[in-house]
Amino acid sequence: MHYGFDGKVALVTGAGGGIGRATALGFAASGAAVVVSDVNIEGGEATVQQIEAAGGRAIFASCNVAKRSEVKALVARTVEAFGRLDFAHNNAGINNLGADEYEDEAWDRSLGINLSGVMYCMREEAEVMLTQGKGAIVNTASINGLVGNGQQPAYTATKHGVIGLTRHGALRWARQGIRVNAVCPGVIETPMTAPLVADPRMRDVISGMTPMGRMGQAEEIAAAVLWLCSDQASFVTGHPLVIDGGATAT
């Protein structure tokens, strides 16, 4: 769907592939200028190339969202390049598949990127949007932000935290024109989950865990992000939108 984002500016973190890339492409296809951000320089530049090849406008800006100074510079770069910031998809995150998240290094890294990174981004993005009197922020949480996961304490805790931050931001800025929502994906086919499904037998197992019998696609999450940013969702804020093929309905 084309949302008519002409003249608008979108910032997407973690846009070097997967959900972030799909969202960046979606914003551009609807007319927005896009700031593509990632620590993966090659992936981020490839996303920009795809946008430009389709006739859109985009720039790449490297950023480690766990570092406050880099987030501040990222938002400043966005305003410098395009003069404003209308939409932000705070999507950068990690999933320590196979690691022991009770280990300090894994725990600290998860909190830094998945939780503090979202807060740093929200804080800087809101500063710009407040001066404009309008804006929409969407954070990537997870169904593990709504239900438990016995194997991943850090991932589960940080994604619960993202939903908490989302609700906080929605309340804080509700009367100042800024809407803050979250998407909660189930198992989505992305580079992050690729190691899980490299074995066709494991793919069948994981697909079978979802009532719809398949993994989700990045474009299905991107479609939800774009809708949440659009005027069609003008009365939606503080909402964790579940996109999981029915996994949490059981």
Catalytic positions: 155
Q: Residue 135's closest CA among 211, 234, 60?
A: 234
User: What order do you get walking across the sheet with 240-243 strand by strand?
Assistant: 58-62, 33-38, 9-13, 87-90, 135-140, 178-185, 240-243
Report the alpha-carbon distance of residue 26 to residue 218 in Å, rounded: 11
Query: Which residues, in sequence order, are CB contacts of 205 under 8 Å at separation 6+?
Result: none
Place of tokens 């990632």: 38
Supply φ then ψ for residue 14, to 5 degrees: 65, 35
- The 3-state DSSP class for residue 168 equals helix
